[in-house]
Amino acid sequence: MELTKQLAEAVLSADPLQDKRAVQMARNGLLDAAASALAAKEDEGIQKLMALVEQEGGAAQIPVMGKGKKVSRQSAAMLNGYLIHALDYDDVHSDVRGHPSAVIIPALLSQLTDGEIYGDRFLAAYITGVEVMARLGESIGKAHYERGWHNTGTLGAIAAVCAIGYLKQVSQEGLAKAIGFAGAQSAGMRKQFGSDMKPLQAGLAAKTAVWSMDLACSGFGGNDSVLDGALGFFSLYGDQELAESRLLEGYGSTWRIVAPGLWFKVYPFCSAAHHAADAILSLMKEHAALPEQVKQVDVIFPPGGDAALIERAPSNGEEGRFSVEYVIALAIFGQTLTLDAFTKKNIPTDMRTWMKRVSRGYDQTIEPHPDAVPKGRFTIVKLTLSDSTTISKRVDIPRGAPGFALSKEDIIQKLSSVTSASQAQQILQAVEEGNAAAYLKLLA
């Protein structure tokens, strides 16, 4: 049987609810996505997108998170996907090499126009979407991302269409065709990183999934083996041979939402600086040094481990999302590593001057921890104080990453930091009850 049809069959016949850890992780994922979206509701990009959507018009079907307005199903998938990913505060997954929940969750929420309460099947559909996206990420090969594709965009539509297929229990033929429509519309470029278009690429993948399933359900004609053969999706975007051996291997026995698992972000900045953040906060807890007492800070990575941290002397908080120097300075100056520190607001001159005391170094002789996240990564933060004593801390697995997962309480705290405690509790209750419609309504 062909790969596309096999994927459709595997998706429809598995039962993710058998794995209670997967179900719990899915609940946490819904809470974390809600927190990530609400954190972004004042974002400038979303205002522009909503104005464009309004200009096109459309039925008032599904709410845009935190915005008090309903838009059409496809537009809602796009806007909610954008919102969840807007601040890069949403979960990541190492197999995906991207952001699964920002695509899967909005695509599923846009199905909730029928008033049906899907219960735990909604969670199972979400687990399915993450599973397929992780498997696509592994099957497409490392070169895909390296060449410049944005995995969240290029893999998201097929994954989300599988999640919808599970939720709606469509036929195998229908799902195979929907995969084909999604595959033939898959896009997204890393060249757009650092612009509003990056999070929009997540939203567009979600929108494509909603539209592709609608096309399939309408009986519109399409190819049902788009993942197969020399002209197929994997040949075009990646590695056909790898996909044939990996895509479906052991599907349904374990769930990738659990292992390697979602990484929920504790801090609203680039994950490459999370290790250093944990380290400096831990050091500051033990030795509450003042800025003037710190002569020098050395931050040691494995070679290339700081590639994503492109800002060494940021001028505002938004640039500071990609600066380990700024993150360390905030901690030393006694400020919290929360959203308000990472806006367009200028960084005060004294802090910018102080940041020059931070140096980066690389050490390839240090053995990474076998469970390091990401693989091969570590960060050592070493403070040299004015009396020339030194204190240092090494972190291999940052808080929130698989292996050091956030507790549900941590995630509720993240949620409470962007909305009222009572709303956070209501959202939690909806998620515990598997009531996706109530969840969506609370986020409206």
Q: Where along the sequence are the contacts to a second copy (CB under 8 A)?
A: 45, 48-49, 51-52, 55-59, 61, 72-75, 147-150, 153, 180-181, 183-192, 194-197, 200-201, 204, 211, 214-215, 218-223, 225-226, 229-233, 235-236
- By beta-carbon proximity to a second copy, the closer residue of 28 and 139 is 139
Structure tokens at 242: 């790898």
We find the least distance from the C-beta atom of residue 179 to a second copy, in angstroms, to be 11
Interatomic CA distance for residues 108 and 160, integer angstroms: 8
User: Which DSSP string do the residues of 347-365 spell out, in sequence order?
Assistant: PPHHHHHHGGGEEEEE-TT
We find the least distance from the C-beta atom of residue 345 to a second copy, in angstroms, to be 18
Interatomic CA distance for residues 63 and 195, integer angstroms: 25
Interatomic CA distance for residues 332 and 383, integer angstroms: 10
We find the least distance from the C-beta atom of residue 225 to a second copy, in angstroms, to be 8
We find the least distance from the C-beta atom of residue 215 to a second copy, in angstroms, to be 7
- By beta-carbon proximity to a second copy, the closer residue of 147 and 375 is 147
- By beta-carbon proximity to a second copy, the closer residue of 148 and 348 is 148
- By beta-carbon proximity to a second copy, the closer residue of 196 and 298 is 196
Say how many CA atoms lie within 13 Å of 387 toward its Cβ.
Answer: 4
We find the least distance from the C-beta atom of residue 443 to a second copy, in angstroms, to be 21
We find the least distance from the C-beta atom of residue 72 to a second copy, in angstroms, to be 4
- By beta-carbon proximity to a second copy, the closer residue of 61 and 413 is 61
- By beta-carbon proximity to a second copy, the closer residue of 82 and 118 is 82
We find the least distance from the C-beta atom of residue 181 to a second copy, in angstroms, to be 6
- By beta-carbon proximity to a second copy, the closer residue of 173 and 433 is 173
Q: Are strands 294-301 and 358-362 parallel, antiparallel or unpaired?
A: parallel
- By beta-carbon proximity to a second copy, the closer residue of 219 and 250 is 219
Interatomic CA distance for residues 13 and 171, integer angstroms: 11
Burial class (CB in 10 A: 0-12, 13-18, 19+), 349: exposed
Cis amide linkage into residue 398, ω under 30° from 0: no
Structure tokens at 263: 């990484």
- Using alpha carbons only, what angle is made at residue 27 by residues 22 and 29, rounded to the nearest 5 degrees? 90
Structure tokens at 376: 């091969």
Nearest residue to 140 (alpha-carbon basis) of 245, 14, 263, 257: 245
- By beta-carbon proximity to a second copy, the closer residue of 197 and 385 is 197
We find the least distance from the C-beta atom of residue 67 to a second copy, in angstroms, to be 16
Interatomic CA distance for residues 146 and 129, integer angstroms: 23
Tell me the CA distances in angstroms from 336 to 56, 88, 136, 156, one per residue in order. Answer: 41, 18, 37, 33
We find the least distance from the C-beta atom of residue 149 to a second copy, in angstroms, to be 7
Q: Which residues of 329-342 are buried (b: 16+ CB within 10 A; e: fewer)?
A: bbbbeeeebebebb
User: Which DSSP string do the residues of 321-339 spell out, in sequence order?
Assistant: TT-HHHHHHHHHTT---SG
